[in-house]
Amino acid sequence: MPAASLISQLHAALDRQAQNQAQNLVIQAPPGTGKTTVIPPVVANVLATQQLKQKVLVTAPRRVAVRAAARRLAHLDSSALGDKVGYSVRGDHVAGSQVQFVTPGVLVRQLLQDPELAGVGAVIIDEVHERQLDTDLLLGMLTELSQLRDDFSLIAMSATVDAELFAQLLGAQVLSAEAPLYPLEITYRPAGARLGTRGVERSFLEHIAQVTHEATINSSHSALVFVPGVSEIEWVITELQKLGHHNVFALHGRLTPQEQDLALSRSDEQRIIVSTPVAESSLTVPGVRIVVDSGLTRMPKRDAARGMTGLITASCAQSAAQQRAGRAGREGPGEVIRCYSAEDFAHSARFNPPEISVADLTQAALWLAAWGTPIAELPLLSAPPETAWTAAIETLSRIGALQGSALTPLGKCLSTLPLPPHFGASLLRFGLQAAPILAVVADSPQGDVAKQKAAPAEVKRLARLAPKNSGTATAGQIVGVALPQLIARREGENEYLLTSGTRAILQDKDLAGAPWLAIAAINRSNNRALIRAAARISEADALEIIGVEEITKTAISGGKVQARKVRAAGAIELSVTAVKPQEADAAAAVAAEMQASGLDIFEFSAAARSLRDRLRFLYVQVGAPWPDTDKADPQLWLGPELEALAAGQPLKKLDMHTALQRLLPWPEAVHLEDLAPAHLVVPSGHRHAVDYESGRPVLRVKLQECFGLEESPRLCDIPVQFHLLSPAGRPLAVTDDLKSFWSGPYSQVRAEMRGRYPKHPWPEDPWSAPATARTKNRAR
C-alpha cells in the first residue's frame, strides 16, 4: 500500500529518544493509500520498540467506519478481533491490547473521565477534513494534552486536508504519501428537479435507480450509489429490485454490525450498495468500480431566529463529490456518473461548512464545561457562532447542568453519558420507563411518539444507563423534560406556539386537536416550522416542566406606552391584564423603540425638527460634547415626558422642542447659533431657515435675493448648499460655489427665465445688481 512509504519517516518522527519528546504529526495521503490500516499498527510498533506499554487510539467519524477498520486491521494482522485490535462505539465495545478504534464521542468521554489518557501513547484522528464537531473539539482538547505530556503524540490524517492549517494548530510535522491514481471516467446525467417541498423528489430517485441499472446491466463490476438518507436508500433499493436487481445492499449507520458486514464484505458476484455519505471516506467497499452520485447530502442547519437546529438536504460540496468519485478508482479504472449537471457541480461550495458553525452546540458546551477550558481559550480551527453558543449555555442552565458557568453534579453525570445531555436529563429523572420513548425520539420519529416502537437494542442500551426509578410518567413528560423549549400550546386549528416563541404547523392526524404537545422532532419547510413528531402532554405537566412566571411587559402600541401583566410559560402567554406603566418601564420601552427607529417614533413641530437636525449635524461634524440624539438615554432628557407617557399621553402630544433642549450641552450650548444657526441673513436682508435634515446645511432662497453674494457661508467648515429658486419657488440651481454659478450657469438661467418672469430682475451683471425679494416695480 502507498501509505507504507511513510513507515521510515514515522519511525524517525516518533523516535522520542532522538527528539527528547513525542512529536505531533499531520499525515496527508489520497484515498485508497491504506492510511487507516497502515499508520496505526506502525505507530503501535514504534511505541513497542521503545518499550512503552502504551496503546494507540484511532478515531473515525462514524460507527460503521470504526467497526470496519478494526475488523480489516485484525484480518490483515491474522489476529482475532479483540486480541491486538479492538473498537469502541456507542453500545458496543471490544477491547484491543495495542490499537483501539473509537468514535470521537467515545474518546471525548474517555478524556473527561481520564484527562491524562493514562496508558495511551498516541491518538490518531482520521478524516479530519470532514470538520465534524466532535472531531474539532477533540483536536482542541488533545492539542492541550500534547502540550502537557511529552510522551504523547497527536496525529491528524486525511486524504484532503489543508495540511499547513492543521500543522499550525497542532504544532506538527507534515508527512505526505502519494498514490497512483486509476483513471476515472466522469459523466453527468442530470434529470429534473432533485429537491421539492417535501425533500428529495421521487422522480429523481427513480432516475438514480435507472442510471444505476444501465451502468451495471452490462458490467461485472459492483456499484456504489450515494443518496442522502435512509428513506432514499429504501426507495432506490425498491426501484432497483423492480428492475431485476437482487444483490442489492443498504449501508448506513442505523444497520446492525451484521447488516453492515453484508455490504462491506468482498464477493465475486456483482453487488450494488446504496449508501448514505457514510461511505465517502474511511470505508473501502470491495469490488466497486462504478459510483452513481446523487450529489446530495444531509447536513445540520441552525435557524438562529427560531433557536432550532435540524438536518436539511442540500447539494454536497465539491470536495465530498470528489471523495465519492474516488471510491470508484481504488482497485482499477472506474466510472463515475453524477446525476446532476456539470454546472451544478461548478456552482456548489468547495467544502462543506465546519459543523461547529451550523450545529446545535449543547453537547459541546457541556463537554467543555467538564473539560475546564473556556471556549475562547481552546485551540480550535473555527470559533463557534456566539448566538448558538449562548443558546447552548441557556439550554444547559435550563436542564440544571450548569449554574452560571459552573458544572453542577447533574451536569457532571450528564457529561459522561453516551447520549445528548437533554436526553440524559430525562433518562435520569424518569429512569427505565423513559428508555423506550427516548429511543424512539433519537431515531427520526414520525407522528405520535407514544404509539411508536424503537429498536430493541437501543432500548436496552438506554435501560442499562438508566437509574432504577419507580413511578409512572407519560410520553409527553419524558419528551417534555428532554426538550422543554419545544413544548407547545395550540393557538389555532393546526398551529402551535412553542415555549421558545416559534410557531409551528401540525400535520399529523393522530395528534390533531391536542391542546398541548411535547414536540420530539420539528422540520423547516418553505420558511415554516413543521411538527414531525410529538406526544400529548397535559397543561399541568407542561407548566410544571417549563415553569410559570409573572412579568410586566411594557411597549409602544397604538402610539402610546402600554403595560401588561403577563402570566407566561416561556413565550406562551397564559393570561394578560392591562396595568399602568411604571416610569422606568416606559423609559425602557421608548429606548427599545428608539433602538429600532430612532427619534422617528415622535412627532416634531417645525422648531423641534430644526433643533433635532442641527444637533445631529453637530454630532457628526464636531462630536462630543454634542449628543447623538438617536441613542441618548431617554431618562436623561425625557423625564417629564416619560411621566406623561406613563400616565397615558400619546407620543404625538409630547413637546419635543422642550425635550430636545435638555440635550444641549452646557456651556457649549451658547455657541449653537454660531456653529449651526437656525437662520441665515442673505444679501436681500431677509432671514431664511437653514435645513440640516440631509446632514449638511441647505438654504432654499429666491435667486434674486443672493445677487452680489460671492462665497457660500461655511458652518463647521461645511459650505452651505444654496437651492436657488425661481420667483414661483421652483428650483433653478443647486450650488455651494456661488462665484462659479454667477460666472457661468447664471447666464443660461437668465436667458430661460427672464421671459417667463419679466416682472422680476434678471440683470446681466448679478455682481452689482441689488439683491431683492421684490419685483422691478416694487424695487423702485
SS3 at position 509: coil
* Res 780: pLDDT: 46
Whether the pTM exceeds 0.85: the reply is no
State mean pLDDT over 750-777.
Answer: 89
* Res 308: pLDDT: 56
- Of 44-48, 210-214, 513-517, 650-654, the least confident: 650-654
> Cα separation of 373 and 407, whole Å?
12
Report the length, in residues, of the chain: 780
Q: What single-letter DSSP state applies at residue 408?
A: P
- Of 192-196, 473-477, 574-578, the least confident: 192-196
* Res 526: pLDDT: 63
For 184, left (φ over 0), alpha (ψ -120 to 50), or beta?
A: beta
Higher pLDDT, 345 or 259: 345
**Strands (DSSP E) along 465-601, which ranges?**
487-490, 495-498, 503-506, 516-525, 528-536, 549-557, 560-569, 572-579
- Please check the confidence at residue 777 and state whether its pLDDT lies above 80: no
Q: Please report how the helices 421-430 and 386-398 are oriented relative to each other, as an axis angle in degrees rounded to 10.
A: 10
**Strands (DSSP E) along 347-433, which ranges?**
402-403, 406-407
Q: Residue 392: name the closest of 415, 361, 423 by CA.
A: 361
Provide the CB-side half-sphere exposure for 42 (13 A, CA): 21
* Res 72: pLDDT: 87
| Residues 660-698 pLDDT 10s | 999 999 999 999 999 999 999 999 999 999 999 999 999
| Residues 705-751 pLDDT 10s | 999 998 999 999 999 999 999 999 999 999 999 999 999 999 999 99
- The answer to whether residues 474 and 541 touch, using CB atoms and an 8 Å cutoff, is yes
> Cα separation of 72 and 36, whole Å?
10
State mean pLDDT over 633-641.
Answer: 79
Query: Cell for 10?
Result: 514515522
Query: Cell for 574?
Result: 397564559
- Please check the confidence at residue 779 and state whether its pLDDT lies above 70: no
745 alpha carbon, distance to own chain's centre: 57
Q: Residue 97, class by beta-carbon neighbours within 10 Å (0-12 exposed, 13-18 middle, 19+ buried)?
A: middle
Residue 202 pLDDT level (bands cut at 50, 70, 90): very high
* Res 302: pLDDT: 64
Highest mean pLDDT pick, 318-322, 419-423, 614-618: 614-618
| Residues 578-594 pLDDT 10s | 888 888 888 888 878 87
- Please check the confidence at residue 525 and state whether its pLDDT lies above 70: no
Residue 289 pLDDT level (bands cut at 50, 70, 90): very high
> Cα separation of 693 and 21, whole Å?
69
SS3 at position 592: helix
Q: Residue 451: name the closest of 430, 437, 438, 472 by CA.
A: 437
Concatenating the DSSP letter of every residue in 77-93 gives: TT--TTSSEEEEETTEE
* Res 7: pLDDT: 85
> Cα separation of 228 and 364, whole Å?
25
- Of 123-132, 268-277, 588-597, the least confident: 588-597
What residues are paired with 519 via a beta bridge? 534
- Please check the confidence at residue 319 and state whether its pLDDT lies above 90: no
Q: What domains lie within the chain, and their CATH numbers?
A: 2-176 (3.40.50.300), 184-357 (3.40.50.300), 362-544 (no CATH), 548-668 (no CATH), 677-779 (no CATH)
Residue 188 CB neighbour total at 10 angstroms: 16
Residue 138 pLDDT level (bands cut at 50, 70, 90): very high
| Residues 160-200 pLDDT 10s | 667 788 888 888 888 888 766 788 999 999 988 898 877 78
- Of 2-16, 293-307, 423-437, the least confident: 293-307
- Please check the confidence at residue 766 and state whether its pLDDT lies above 90: yes
> Cα separation of 202 and 234, whole Å?
12
State mean pLDDT over 79-104.
Answer: 92
- Please check the confidence at residue 19 and state whether its pLDDT lies above 70: no
State mean pLDDT over 88-95.
Answer: 88
* Res 160: pLDDT: 63
State mean pLDDT over 553-571.
Answer: 87
